[in-house]
Amino acid sequence: MPRTSRPKFLKMLSMLKRAYPGAKCSLDYDSPLHLLVAVMLSAQCTDARVNLTTPALFAKYKTARDFVRANPCELQSLIRSCGFFRTKAKNIIGACKLIDGQYAGKLPSTMDEMLALPGVARKTANIVLGNAYGILEGIPVDTHAIRLSRLLGLTQHSDPKKIEKDLMALVPRKDWLQVSNLFVYHGRAICIANRPKCQLCPLNGLCPSAAWDHATSLQVRKALRLSGGKNHAPLSASSKGRRPSDAPRSLGPSAFKTLP
């Protein structure tokens, strides 16, 4: 059960939209298939690293059949820097075999079909369906979405599937993809794991976990550190710091002009 009401969350959402008007998927791709491959490579890896890796990869392998015919060792060496390269190469080739054999080389466009591909779970399927086809069947729940959802009081769960269900009840369907992009941008710029910059956050007047002074910031950081960033419950009102009377309620959208 979310602690934050829907009207309150909709205000947060609108603030995030104002703070990050250009939020979008940060992976580079030129086709639905290449987006799938990029998302598979991004597991346990940064999008920036994936974007450094994919130009050479995509120049060599353009279609599902190209990946099926790939020499596994050669493919592994091209994606080595993304980590877990043996498993990722195996899953990419396995997924492309299905796409080439069952779907004539075209990436399928339903959740069930996507989930049947090796190495594809709901987060990957939601990102690919939303960005490649504009199909919104759910909300991508990555590490930023997990952390932000808990800190903002949108869920009390840790399991991504349960978090996605709570979010789907709160977020208007048209925003299911964008809310995930906004969480990524906010999680990278302000609500950083283990060191949230609450004093700079446009949500600090609404967020149940907002910390206003140094001591409270340390409290949030300690709670996040102890839970590995996963099990932090919002601070109780009594443990929250007071907002200094002269502190700005938020720096406003102008403070975010230089953010990604």
Q: How far is the CB of 249 from ligand SF4 (least distance, A)?
A: 11
Strands (E), 129-232: none
- The residue ranges that bind ligand SF4 (CB under 6 A) are 151-152, 190-191, 196-198, 201, 203-204, 207, 209-210
Q: How far is the CB of 191 from ligand SF4 (least distance, A)?
A: 3
Q: For 211, how many CA atoms within 13 A lie in the half-sphere containing its CB?
A: 22
- Compare residues 62 and 195 and give the one whose CB is closer to ligand SF4: 195
- C-beta separation of 155 from 163 below 8 A: yes
- Compare residues 135 and 200 and give the one whose CB is closer to ligand SF4: 200
Q: How far is the CB of 189 from ligand SF4 (least distance, A)?
A: 10
- Compare residues 119 and 253 and give the one whose CB is closer to ligand SF4: 253
Q: How far is the CB of 230 from ligand SF4 (least distance, A)?
A: 15
Cα separation, 99 vs 116, in Å, equals: 10
Q: How far is the CB of 133 from ligand SF4 (least distance, A)?
A: 31
Q: How far is the CB of 138 from ligand SF4 (least distance, A)?
A: 23
- Compare residues 80 and 221 and give the one whose CB is closer to ligand SF4: 221
- Compare residues 89 and 152 and give the one whose CB is closer to ligand SF4: 152
- Tokens representing 155 are 């869920």
- Rounded to whole angstroms, what are the CA distances from 235 to 25, 46, 162, 218? 31, 30, 22, 12
Q: State how far Cα 125 lies from the chain centre.
A: 13
Query: Phi and psi at residue 214, in whole multiples of 5°?
Result: -60, -45
- Compare residues 3 and 80 and give the one whose CB is closer to ligand SF4: 3
State the virtual CA torsion across 110, 116, 118, 123 in degrees, nearest 10.
50
Residue 81 makes CB contacts below 8 A (sequence gap 6+) with: 49, 52, 53
Strands (E), 16-103: none
